[in-house]
Amino acid sequence: MHTYTSLATKETQTVTQMQLPHIQIKDLNVHIEGKHILKNINLAIPNNSITSIIGPSGCGKTTLLKTLNRLMDDSKNVKINGSVLVNGEDIYAKDAEVTHIRKKMGLLSQRPFPLPMSIFENITYGPRIHGQRDKTVLKEIVETQLKNVGLWEEVKDRLHHSATTLSIGQQQRLCLARGLAVQPEIILGDESTSALDPISTQTIENLLIDLKSEYTIVLVTHILRQARRVSDYIIFVYNGEIIEFGKTEDILLNPQNEITKQYVKGFIS
């Protein structure tokens, strides 16, 4: 167990020399209903890159992702110890404001959840909550963000139609645009292409690759091929522990740990 930790720490240092850590997780432990779900997590996630969290079902990937924007706080019987620093600021500090923290992060879930309103209103919802009332500005935000996710040409003539009239793939791009509209710094995705067809999956993957120059992106996926296609770095989680963290090619082609080797060969699923 200790070799995993020291390995992760060694990799972390190598990575941070190249790129600034945007998110730093220090001695994070999560207990749910008395069970130790995340164990001694220490990580530095670099900016302007895509980091994928991989590992078998039930190993703690979603829990790790949700601790990054304090979504685990919403669950009952959850105990969180340790710290998560975003730009050096501890989001678990006593005086940390959850709304302020979540504004920095856009979350893309497994299935698209458009709000039950029009395409236009889905995108302006966040900016309006944060006080933007200027109609010209709101229109600009809608156009910019729809262009950002490659939806503008498809929907510009029906902005006031219900978002639910869009295909699932389009809805997921709309949800991404809705997240981007509040100008987050970090995009979190939890298996966010699992409900999509291959073409929509590819569209979302390409969008995320385009967006990484401006955002820090952390994705949960159990699809190794997807992790290989999109990520710069990979975190391999097993049974609530980080077994290895490093550059995508190192983890997939030259894993150091026996469990990682088994996982990338497909012997553990």
Ligand X SMILES: Nc1ncnc2c1ncn2[C@@H]1O[C@H](COP(=O)(O)OP(=O)(O)O)[C@@H](O)[C@H]1O
Q: Between residues 46 and 55, which has the closer beta carbon with respect to ligand X?
A: 55
**Which of the ranges 60-68, 76-84, 151-159, 230-238 carries the binding residues for Mg ion, by CB under 5 A?**
60-68
What are the phi and psi torsion angles at 77 (to 5°)?
Answer: 55, 35
**Which of the ranges 32-40, 56-64, 140-148, 255-263 carries the binding residues for Mg ion, by CB under 5 A?**
56-64
Residue 52 structure tokens: 């994928």
**Are 148 and 121 in contact, with CB atoms under 8 Å apart?**
no
Q: How far is the CB of 261 from ligand X (least distance, A)?
A: 19
Cα 109 from Cα 102, distance rounded (Å)? 14
Q: Between residues 190 and 205, which has the closer beta carbon with respect to ligand X?
A: 190
**Which of the ranges 55-63, 114-122, 227-235, 258-266 carries the binding residues for Mg ion, by CB under 5 A?**
55-63
DSSP 47-79: SSSEEEEE-STTSSHHHHHHHTTT-GGGSTTEE
Please, what is the Cα angle at 52 between 46 and 54, to 5 degrees? 140
Cα 36 from Cα 80, distance rounded (Å)? 10
Q: How far is the CB of 151 from ligand X (least distance, A)?
A: 28
**Which of the ranges 3-11, 32-40, 162-170, 196-204 carries the binding residues for ligand X, by CB under 6 A?**
32-40
Q: How far is the CB of 208 from ligand X (least distance, A)?
A: 19
> What, of Mg ion, ligand X, none, does residue 58 touch, CB below 5 to 8 Å by kind?
ligand X
Cα 200 from Cα 186, distance rounded (Å)? 22
* 62 makes contact with Mg ion (CB under 5 A): yes
CA dist 176 to 34, 68, 112, 119, 181, Å? 35, 18, 9, 12, 9
Residue 165 structure tokens: 């009239």
Binding mask 70-99 for ligand X (x = CB under 6 A): -----x------------------------
* 63 makes contact with Mg ion (CB under 5 A): no
**Which of the ranges 51-59, 112-120, 175-183, 249-257 carries the binding residues for ligand X, by CB under 6 A?**
51-59
Number of residues that bind Mg ion (CB under 5 A): 1
Nearest to 187 by CA among 74, 93, 52, 73: 52
Kindly give, in sequence order, each residue whose CB lies less than 8 Å from that of residue 55, ignoring residues fewer than 6 positions away.
61, 222, 236, 237, 238, 263
Among 57, 136, 213, 269, binds ligand X (CB under 6 A): 57
Residue, CB closest to Mg ion: 62
> Where along the sequence are the contacts to ligand X (CB under 6 A)?
32-33, 37, 55, 57-63, 75
> Where along the sequence are the contacts to Mg ion (CB under 5 A)?
62
